[in-house]
Amino acid sequence: MPLPTINQEDFKGDINISQAGTINTDFDAYIETYIQKGIRDTLGDAAFVQIRDNTRQKWQDLFNGVDYTDKNGDVVYQHGMTNALRYFIYFFWCRDSFMNSPNGNVSATFENAELLNAGGQFGVVRERYNRFVDIMNCEVFPFISEFKESSEAITGYTDNGGGSITIEFASTKYLQSGDLLNVNGTDYTVSAVDTDVSATISGAGSLIPTGDVKWEPFGMIKNTYTERLVI
C-alpha cells in the first residue's frame, strides 16, 4: 500500500515510550523491522509482498480501518491492523530493552519503566501484546474472513467477441483489472471493471456465463489466529 506508517509519536497513552524529546534512530529502525515482522507472522509472506508492492483499496481498508456490512447484514467497524501493530511493536521493544539491559531493568527512556523489571512485573506489558492479539482476532481476521472469498449472482452478460465477455453482477468490491474471476468453474483474467456494475474477462472463447462469479480478495492471506500470552 505500501507498508503502513508508524512513527515514534504514535507511542503514547497506554503504549507510551518516552524518548525525552529526541529522535531515537534505533527505535525508528526497530519500528520498521517489526512492522514487517508483524505482517509476515500474521498474514504470511505472499500477502506481505502484495501489501508492500501496491496501493489497492483492500489493503488500505485492512490497515487504516473501515466500516462494512457483513454477510448477516450487520454494520461492523474494524479499527485497522496498523492500530494492532503499535501494540505488537511496543511489546517487543519493551521485551528486548529489558533483556539487553545490563542489570535486568528497563532503561530510563521508558516513562513507564516500572512496568517491566527484574521483579517480574511483566503483566502490563504482556497485556499490551494481548491487546494486539484481541484486535487481530476480534476485528482484523473477521474482516479478512468476510472478504476472503466473494461471490455474486450473474445478472447478465455481453459477448464482446474475440473471447472477451462483460459479465454483470451487483458488487465488485475489491475486484480490479488483473485479478482472477471464476466463471462456470474456470478462472479468467479480468481486463476491466465497471464498479458495482460489471467485469470484463478475456480468453473466454464462446463461454455462456451462468450461476455465480467468484473471486478471492484475501485468498493469499494465511489468516492464522493469534494466541494470547498467559505466562
Question: Are residues 196 and 108 part of one domain?
Answer: no
Give CA–CA dist 31/112, Å, rounded. 19
Domain count, the chain: 2
Domain span at residue 199 reads: 150-215
Picking from 147, 171, 186, the residue at the C-terminal end of a domain is 147
Degrees to nearest 5, angle at CA 31 with 26 and 34: 120
CA distances from 194 to 9, 159, 174 (A): 40, 16, 12
Question: Are residues 116 and 24 part of one domain?
Answer: yes
**What is the distance of C-alpha 55 from the center of its chain?**
13
Phi, psi of 197 (to 5 degrees): -130, -55
Give CA–CA dist 110/18, Å, rounded. 5
CA distances from 32 to 11, 25, 28, 72, 156 (A): 14, 11, 6, 37, 47
Q: Are 82 and 70 in contact (CB under 8 A)?
A: no
Q: Give the mean pLDDT per block of 10 residues along the chain (231 residues).
A: 87 79 74 95 93 91 95 93 96 79 46 46 82 94 94 98 97 97 98 98 96 96 74 54
Question: Are residues 187 and 83 part of one domain?
Answer: no
Read off the CATH number of the domain in which 199 is found.
2.40.30.20
Write down the pLDDT at residue 95. 84
Question: Are residues 37 and 76 part of one domain?
Answer: yes
Give CA–CA dist 223/137, Å, rounded. 10
Residue 159 lies in a domain: yes
Question: Are residues 112 and 24 part of one domain?
Answer: yes
Write down the pLDDT at residue 94. 87
Question: Are residues 125 and 161 part of one domain?
Answer: no
Q: What is residue 129's three-state secondary structure? A: helix
- Quick check: pTM over 0.75? yes
Question: Are residues 192 and 140 part of one domain?
Answer: no
Q: What is residue 31's three-state secondary structure? A: helix
Write down the pLDDT at residue 160. 97
Picking from 88, 115, 147, the residue at the C-terminal end of a domain is 147
Question: Are residues 141 and 49 part of one domain?
Answer: yes
